[in-house]
Amino acid sequence: MAFAPSLWAQTEAYPAKSVSIIVAYAPGGQGDVFARLVGERLQTSLKQPFVVDNRPGVSGTVGTRVAAKSRNDGYTLFLGQTGEMVVNRLIMKDLGYDPIKELVPVVLIGNAPLVMLAPADAPYNTVQEFIRLAQARPGEYSYGSVGAGTPGHLSAVALGLGAKLNMIHVPYKGVGPLLNDLMAGRLQAFFSSASAAMPQIKGGKLKALAVTTPQRIASLPNVPTVAESGLPGFSYTLWGGLFAPAGTPQSAIDLVNREVNAIMASPEIRTRFEADGLAVPRNTPAEFVDYVRAEAAKYDKLIRDANIKID
């Protein structure tokens, strides 16, 4: 009889208690929005709390380390994005964990496009015109980012490599000062998330030259892709999904995957996401594994070709 409670605990239906969703950044960012959106709805459908646990610090490495070293019992999930899962391990030394080996993909939630922005009065209106002018003035064109290794930085690096451009990278501590300098013409380009850029685009303060997705997005239907603009295969996005510590029971992974896919398929969520240009792909854990592997290989090649490092 003494063993009965433990035997029952091992066989009870998942989830039987509160589940933590670790986010590696402070509240308010895209990853936090993803986590809270699915967490609230998982709590309703699975009848247990799904609590967002923000662990910001050092470009997402603090929260990622906590998640990677957590118990693999299904009660810790991690909202991983492009940077935390595939980029940081390539450009930062001595992380103390390997996200590819220690965290397993559960479900891809959303995939956000970036938009190549330029000052409203810039003498170029297309990517081709930008490339032509930048090639004619090597070392004079500059682009902004909110830090080395961020999606905006790496998208510009990919453009520079693909078009053989010599541009200056100017990192900023926040997007506000960056946009001010871009609108004033002190920068020539910035790859921004589409949702963040929309007010400036609609207000005529900045112009959109291209989007970084393989296809055009519904919120900017007249803006071509970078791939259409002369760089075939160009595809750089900011994606986010749920991961779990390696060894987490497959039954828990499959359940969360099914529930999140159902949440994202609802008309309310799909309409909301697509209005911001976010793709909402239905996916299995195996398909998400393949996606992460492909993304890791793509960024590995880009970062090696560009020789990007952070001490």
pLDDT, the chain, mean: 92
Tell me how crowded residue 181 is: count the other CB atoms within 10 A of its CB: 17
pLDDT above 70 as % of the chain: 96
> 185-189, 276-280, 305-309: lowest mean pLDDT where?
276-280
More reliable by pLDDT, 146 or 45:
45
Whether residue 192 has pLDDT greater than 50: yes
What gap in Å lies between CA 97 and CA 18, rounded to an integer? Answer: 25
Q: Which domains, from first to last, does the chain contain? A: 18-112+237-306 (3.40.190.150), 113-211 (3.40.190.10)
Q: What's the pLDDT at 147?
A: 87
Q: How confident is the model at residue 11 (pLDDT cuts 50, 70, 90)?
A: low
Q: How confident is the model at residue 1 (pLDDT cuts 50, 70, 90)?
A: very low
- CB contact at 8 A, 85 and 100: yes
pLDDT in tens, 235-284: 999 999 999 999 999 999 999 999 999 999 999 998 888 877 788 889 99
| Nearest of 113, 99, 163, 171 to residue 142 by alpha carbon | 171
